Amino acid sequence: MAKFLKWLVLFFTAIILAAAISGYFLYNQLAADLPDINALHNVQYQIPLNIYSKDNLLIAQFGEKKRTPVAIEKVPQQLINAFIASEDDSFYEHPGVDFKGLLRAGLQLALTGKKRQGGSTITMQVTRNFLLTSEKTYTRKLKEIMLALKIEHEYPKDKIMELYLNQIFMGHRAYGIAAAAQVYYGKSLTELSLAEQAMIAGLPKAPSLYNPITNQDRAIERRNYVLHRMLELNHITQQDYQNASKQPSTAKLQSVTPEISALYLAEMVRQKIFELYGEQAYTSGFKVYTTINGTLQTTANQALSNTLHAYDERHGYRHSSQKVTEVAPTVIGDTLPATILRVKNNSATASLQDKTLIEIPWENIKWAVGATGRSPLQVGDVIRVRQLPNNSWALTQIPEAEGAFVSLDPANGAILALTGGFDFYRNKYNRATQSKRQPGSGFKPIIYTTALEQGYTPASLINDAPIVIDNPGQENEWRPENYSKQFYGPTSIRAAITHSRNIISIRLLNEMGIEKAVATALRFGFADEQIPKTLSLALGSGYATPLQMARVYATFANGGFLIKPYYIERIESNEGEIIYQANPKIACPTCNSTEELNRNYAPRIITPPICFLMNSLLRDVVQHGTATGAKVLGRQDLAGKTGTTNEQRDAWFNGYTQSNVATAWVGFDDFSPLGNAETGGVAALPMWIEFMRVALKDTPETPLNMPDGIVKAFISPETGLLTADTNKAGIWEYFQADHVPTSFSSPAENSSADSNEPDEKPTENLF
């Protein structure tokens, strides 16, 4: 018997020794394969890309995971208590591993053959989420235990808790407690009630099973379990428990709601950040602050929408044959689907998709009335409605024409507002930056700038008479016309640009030579392929985007400098470190010295005298010419140029003050004609006016000050020559100093003034 016991002891000793040796080698093998826990010192959470306006309003968010990391000291203690009660009640006592829990799980496996959930501490979950895969193997579990022990030795408990609370998956793409609070309640952590804290703390066990959105009953059951555990651990009182456990679920899926709508600009930013950083753009928590002004962006959106609706209403109502069963459940732009319930003599009652009843007054329906004079609406019709600024509802339709609008700061090129169409989700094509449209008469200032540089003056006369142009390679001769179909004889350059006379531009280009105008266009930022090398260039037959046209007119607004449009002001890391700061080249009209000009200033492309003359001419377009509609703003410092292309396929207005330059465009994507009389002054100018009414509010007018090299002379508008002060038909005109006329008009013309009238000095106001 003694011999048997001896051998038995030796046998078990051998087994224990073998197990120890095996365990030693296994430990060393696993230890050699363990990831470095020092990586937890610099955790890079996957945080979405956030895009903001210059005034810190959220524009858009891009990224699969919703997460907002939060420091542990900013987490309410009761929320921490809720997670401890739910996930690991001995977190602050154990060394990283709950050996009792592991033993219970092991016994459960031995007795039933089934793995028991539990036994994992918060530290072990941190290990699994940050350093290991989620595969369920015994090897991974051993690594998890070993790493947890090492982590507890290296990091304080609060750091481990912070990692856990920021990383844990909470359902509905929310990672971490701050994201969960926003996704389910639209609240910050400090705003959560006890019941809401317990609901969030109950999610990690099974985010899909205990989710208050998808399974409210199970979620409440889990929440109440967490509350009960908090009561048992003395984190809350009996009264707290009773009050919170009786609360209904207040969870409601919250989307990240942009504070302003700038989706076309947001997509430009997204593409640029992805170009710079690849997939990292969506996970690194970059905060991109754009140059967009929130108020101006909202105004631009509304102005474009109103302008397109106004155009659409001018061209009649497109009767819908849809009935309630065919309604398309979509909101498009500012239009909502609605169903007609009742039609009265002076109004109609309709139901929105959420069952809200609205009244549409006759005043907002009558635009759609045809020859019959009766309402086009019938009970059961599915229509489109929109809410007007006075909160009344109006019958509307989805505009068929499209539009674009862009506003720049002419001093540095910052994009202040940009919209590329009526509805981004309906069509993501950005007409402000991607369209290639003929600029029409909006290109004429390039022609006139060239003319002034070649020695022409605002008083130079060009014959507005029929012209026939034989284009080689084309079957028919070109017989250009003015928009009015009339000819006006000898016409000054000032009158020609003011009234947008086509024939004058063509004759002027022909006299100067096309190559000179092309060279000017290249200076203004046009690419060679955008510029036709024919006389049609005088009518803007090339192509440009609205953003490019705004850049052209910024040169006139800023004193003669070519700025470069930009839209990203700065990029910050998730920690707030500035990793990119824009440093645009700025216009500097007061810079004279070589030292100053070598600094970060935009290149001057036209001289101060030429810029002054062009401003004088373009102000006349608003005060006396094709853009007089803008006079409704009551300002003398508005300048710009309308643009209307052949068959009214494009309608433009490019206008500015010294502080803001903006371009408005209206047209069809398929280049269909807009219709008779749909000129730039009719179809596009209203958009610009509506925007500028807000943009220029409280902005003082800017006088047009004469620079060195400009002089005034009293001339006869009939001849462009000097005339006597007594000539009542005479006008003041501006000239470059070396191009002032030196001869006088005929004595007969000078004597046309009534010698019996008192000798009055002629007015100097050109506008």
Domain boundaries, the chain: 39-43+67-245, 327-367+374-387, 709-767
Residue 37 has pLDDT above 50, yes or no: yes
265: phi then psi, degrees, rounded to nearest 5: -70, -40
Structural tokens at position 348: 């109609």
Q: Shortest CA distance to 121 belongs to which of 153, 144, 142, 155?
A: 144
Indicate the residue type of 555: T
Poorest-confidence range of 14-18, 245-249, 437-441, 522-526?
Answer: 14-18
Fold classified for 327-367+374-387: OB fold (Dihydrolipoamide Acetyltransferase, E2P) (2.40.50)
Quick one: three-class SS letters along 660-729? Answer: CEEEEEEECCCCCCCCCCCCHHHHHHHHHHHHHHHHCCCCCCCCCCCCCCEEEEEECCCCCCECCCCCCC
Q: What angle, rounded to 10 degrees, do the helices at 157-167 and 122-130 form?
A: 60
pLDDT for residue 764: 35
Task: Quickly state the pLDDT bin for 96 (edges 50, 70, 90).
Answer: confident
Q: How far is CA 215 from the centre of its chain?
A: 37
pLDDT for residue 2: 66
pLDDT for residue 373: 72
Spell out a b/e string for 462-474, using b for 16 or more CB atoms within 10 Å of the CB, else e. Answer: bebeebeeeeeee
Residue 113 has pLDDT above 50, yes or no: yes
745 vs 740, more confident: 740
Residue 676 has pLDDT above 80, yes or no: yes
Instruction: State yes or no: is 87 an active-site residue.
Output: yes
Return d(Cα 129, Cα 139) in angstroms, integer.
Answer: 16
Mean pLDDT (whole number) for 535-561: 97
- Average pLDDT, whole number, for the chain? 88
Sign of CA dihedral 101, 106, 110, 116: positive
Task: Quickly state the pLDDT bin for 762 (edges 50, 70, 90).
Answer: very low
Residue 12 has pLDDT above 80, yes or no: no
Max avg pLDDT among 139-143, 594-598, 756-760: 139-143
Q: Shortest CA distance to 290 belongs to which of 267, 256, 319, 320?
A: 267
Instruction: State yes or no: is 441 an active-site residue.
Output: yes
pLDDT for residue 190: 95
pLDDT for residue 43: 78
Mean pLDDT (whole number) for 34-41: 74
Mean pLDDT (whole number) for 684-689: 98
Q: Shortest CA distance to 334 belongs to which of 378, 385, 296?
A: 385
Residue 657 has pLDDT above 70, yes or no: yes
In this structure, are residues 560 and 607 in contact, taking their beta carbons and an 8 Å threshold? yes
Percent of the chain whose predicted confidence (pLDDT) is above 70: 86
**How many Cα neighbours within 13 Å face the side chain of 402?**
21
Structural tokens at position 41: 């010192």
pLDDT for residue 758: 32
Return d(Cα 620, Cα 704) in angstroms, integer.
Answer: 12
Residue 56 gets which letter from DSSP? S
Return d(Cα 101, Cα 154) in angstroms, integer.
Answer: 23
pLDDT for residue 326: 47
Task: Quickly state the pLDDT bin for 134 (edges 50, 70, 90).
Answer: low
> What is the strand order of the sheet 415-419 is part of?
415-419, 402-408, 661-667, 650-656, 639-644
Q: Helical H runs in 454-569?
A: 493-498, 502-512, 514-523, 546-557
CA distances 181 to 110, 256, 602, Å, are: 40, 12, 48
Q: Shortest CA distance to 168 belongs to which of 209, 125, 139, 134?
A: 125
pLDDT for residue 470: 78
pLDDT for residue 767: 28
Residues 455-468 pLDDT 10s: 999 999 999 999 98
Active-site hit among 120, 375, 407, 441: 441
Sign of CA dihedral 670, 675, 677, 683: negative
Percent of the chain whose predicted confidence (pLDDT) is above 90: 71
Active-site hit among 87, 162, 569, 733: 87
Listed in sequence order, the residues at least 6 apart from 49 whose beta carbon sits closer than 8 Å to its beta carbon are: 61, 62, 63, 270, 273, 281, 282, 284, 285, 286, 288
Assign 228 to helix, strand or coil: helix
pLDDT for residue 759: 34
Return d(Cα 544, Cα 565) in angstroms, integer.
Answer: 15
Q: Shortest CA distance to 602 belongs to which of 565, 639, 563?
A: 563
Listed in sequence order, the residues at least 6 apart from 1 whose beta carbon sits closer than 8 Å to its beta carbon are: none
pLDDT for residue 266: 98
Residue 386 has pLDDT above 90, yes or no: yes
CA distances 30 to 7, 16, 24, 674, Å, are: 34, 20, 10, 74
Task: Quickly state the pLDDT bin for 8 (edges 50, 70, 90).
Answer: low
Task: Quickly state the pLDDT bin for 17 (edges 50, 70, 90).
Answer: low
Residue 416 has pLDDT above 90, yes or no: yes
Task: Quickly state the pLDDT bin for 319 (edges 50, 70, 90).
Answer: confident
In this structure, are residues 659 and 699 in contact, taking their beta carbons and an 8 Å threshold? yes
Assign 233 to helix, strand or coil: coil
Cα dihedral angle (441, 443, 446, 451), rounded to 10 degrees?
-30
Which superfamily is assigned to 39-43+67-245 in CATH? Biosynthetic peptidoglycan transglycosylase-like (1.10.3810.10)
Assign 437 to helix, strand or coil: strand
The residues with which 604 forms a beta bridge, in sequence order, are 561
